[in-house]
């Protein structure tokens, strides 16, 4: 029997190249993502290159104290420069990426909740977009003749009450 030039690989022989490939892929992904956040809360600038929405929100949280919660997967990639007030920048990024969210800003705080449509109240409503309420329906005023008739009836009722009729 001739000796074989090939040997059967051991599990360790198979795991090493797989782990190396995973590590290389992770390093190449994180090496591509870039994120820079600058400015004051009323005028921030975010420059992103293939960063996830999660990374962007985390960077804004660290820089400005943004509070956010999410039931959605925030892995969508963001690239571009966004500038403006804190809530406007965060809202623009989330809307452009197709997320549903609610944002509330107070004097000292900005809070954002990002949710899946399946979890959302009223599931197809983006509560950040506000529309003015429609004007109330106009109620027609009574004619001058009807007003006079009502005044006369009221006057007669008061007279009866006062005079005891």
More confidently predicted of 79 and 19: 79
Is 60 within 8 Å of 37 (Cβ atoms)? Answer: yes
Edge-first strand listing for the sheet containing 67-70 = 67-70, 110-115, 100-105
Average pLDDT, the chain: 77
pLDDT of 41 above 90: no
Q: What are phi and psi of 59, to 5 degrees?
A: -65, -40
Q: Where are the domains of the chain?
A: 30-133
* CA distance to 112, 114, 116, 134, per residue, from 72 (Å): 12, 6, 5, 32
pTM over 0.85, yes/no: no
The owner of tokens 């509070």 is 67
* Residue 142 DSSP class: P
Domain 30-133 belongs to what topology?
Answer: Phage tail protein beta-alpha-beta fold (3.55.50)
Q: Are strands 110-115 and 100-105 parallel, antiparallel or unpaired?
A: antiparallel
List pLDDT tens digits, range 88-144: 999 999 999 989 898 888 878 889 999 866 554 554 544 444 445 556 666 677 777
């Amino acid at each position: 029997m001739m000796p074989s030039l090939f040997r059967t690989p051991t599990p360790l022989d198979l795991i090493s190249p797989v782990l190396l490939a995973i590590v290389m892929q992770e390093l190449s992904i994180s090496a591509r993502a870039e994120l820079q956040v600058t400015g004051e809360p009323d005028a921030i600038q975010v420059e992103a290159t293939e960063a996830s929405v999660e990374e962007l929100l985390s960077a804004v949280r660290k820089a400005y104290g943004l509070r956010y919660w999410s039931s959605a997967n925030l892995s969508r990639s963001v690239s571009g420069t966004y500038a403006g007030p804190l809530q406007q920048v965060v809202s623009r990024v989330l809307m452009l990426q197709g997320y549903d969210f609610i944002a509330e800003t107070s004097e000292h705080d900005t809070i954002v909740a990002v949710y899946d449509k399946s979890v959302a109240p009223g599931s197809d409503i983006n509560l950040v977009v506000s529309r003015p309420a429609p004007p109330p329906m106009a109620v027609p005023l009574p004619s001058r003749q009807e007003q006079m008739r009502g005044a006369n009836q009221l006057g007669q009722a008061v007279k009866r009450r006062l005079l005891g009729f």
